[in-house]
């Protein structure tokens, strides 16, 4: 009887105390959880607007302007703008996906997850992957808009390379979204990210090309948008300065470090 009682007590403690549970493989990461997160994002109307409508609308808004057929690298100005708008749309979408942690924190969902064996790093990784997928959709939509419009011209290989690099670059903004999501409460996250990314795009040589060597160009070279924009457009422009790559890497490291720091502060309260 005593043995049975001890066993029952031990089982009860294991059910309550997360530290006594067996840690699942890969820290709890699985495709089922990833799929659920993606479905939640796609059911959000604001996300659909950011992902499927807004980026393409931004590209069409710039359409029909004079000088679109002027040569840029191995393409034209229209192709240059296409890549820039795809980057902006993907950045906004990926940041919005990452910032979903702010809403979940407000609802207490992140605290509930801390009672499970799920590794906090896996939770952040899942958010980043979802943001990356949503960014990929945004890039695809803008590129399809360019095909429909028919004005951007560049080799197919260049087109694909620019799209792939743009998707990779969205990791910077997925990390930014998670960082802001842990830094700012609830719905305020997108109120910070939306205007912030628009400002960075204007200042960071995305919306308006800035002459190299000017004071504005030097300011732009320190913004988060500058490096990723140069990387995304490099197959088209045949120009990728080392400082642009350094810019992107440093901002990615900064946002990941900031997200990890805020996550540790947040989970320490549980």
Q: What is the pLDDT of residues 22-49, one digit of tens each?
A: 656 655 566 777 787 778 777 777 767 7
**52 CB-contact burial (10 Å; exposed 0-12 / middle 13-18 / buried 19+):** middle
- Is 9 a member of any domain? no
Calpha distance 89→153 (Å, rounded)? 20
With respect to residue 16, please indicate whether it lies within any of the assigned structural domains. no
Question: What was the pLDDT predicted at 224?
Answer: 93
Residue 153 domain-assigned (yes or no): yes
Instruction: Print the domain residue range for 211.
Output: 33-267
Max intra-chain CA distance, the chain: 88
Residue 198 lies in a domain: yes
Q: Evaluate whether residue 150 is within a structural domain.
A: yes
| Per-residue model confidence (pLDDT) at position 12 | 47
Residue 116: inside a domain, yes or no? yes
Q: What is the pLDDT of residues 166-189, one digit of tens each?
A: 999 998 998 898 888 888 776 677
Cβ atoms of 204 and 220 closer than 8 Å: yes
With a cut of 50, which residues of the chain have pLDDT below it? Answer: 1-2, 5, 8, 11-12, 14-16, 18
Tell me what pLDDT residue 258 has.
85
For residue 28, the model assigns a pLDDT of 58
Contacts of 49 (CB under 8 A, 6+ apart): none
Looking at the 3D structure of the chain, how many domains does it have?
1
Closest to 159 (Cα-Cα) out of 99, 213, 235: 235
- With respect to residue 15, please indicate whether it lies within any of the assigned structural domains: no
Residues whose CB is less than 8 angstroms from the CB of residue 155 and which lie 6 or more positions away in sequence, other chains included: 74, 75
CA-wise closest residue to 206 among 218, 198, 214: 198
pLDDT at 117: 64
Q: Which residues contact 111 (CB under 8 A, 6 or more apart)?
A: 105, 270
The whole-number pLDDT of residue 159 equals 93
- Position 25 in a domain: no
Which pLDDT value is given to residue 25? 61
């Amino acid at each position: 009887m005593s043995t049975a009682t001890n066993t029952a007590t031990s089982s009860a403690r294991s059910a309550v105390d997360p530290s006594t549970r067996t840690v699942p493989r890969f820290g709890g990461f699985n495709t089922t959880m990833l799929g659920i997160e993606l479905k939640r994002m796609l059911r959000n109307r604001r996300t659909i607007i950011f992902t499927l409508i807004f980026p393409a609308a931004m590209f069409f808004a710039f359409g029909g302007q004079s000088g679109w057929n002027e040569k840029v690298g191995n393409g034209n100005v229209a192709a240059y703008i296409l890549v820039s708008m795809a980057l902006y749309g993907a950045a906004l979408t990926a940041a919005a996906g990452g910032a979903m942690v702010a809403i979940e924190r407000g609802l207490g969902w992140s605290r509930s997850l801390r009672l499970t064996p799920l590794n906090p790093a896996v939770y952040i990784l899942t958010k980043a992957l979802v943001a990356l997928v949503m960014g990929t959709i945004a890039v695809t939509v803008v590129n399809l808009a360019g095909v429909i419009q028919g004005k951007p011209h560049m080799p197919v290989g260049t087109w694909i390379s620019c799209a792939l690099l743009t998707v990779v670059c969205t990791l910077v903004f997925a990390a930014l979204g998670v960082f802001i999501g842990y830094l700012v409460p609830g719905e305020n996250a997108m109120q910070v990210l939306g205007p912030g990314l628009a400002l960075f795009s204007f200042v960071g040589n995305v919306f308006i090309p800035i002459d190299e060597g000017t004071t504005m160009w030097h300011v732009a070279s320190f913004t988060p948008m500058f490096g990723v924009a140069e990387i995304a457009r490099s197959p088209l422009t045949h120009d990728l300065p080392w400082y642009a790559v350094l810019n992107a890497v440093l901002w990615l490291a900064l946002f990941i470090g900031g997200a990890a720091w805020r996550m540790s502060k947040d989970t320490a309260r549980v």
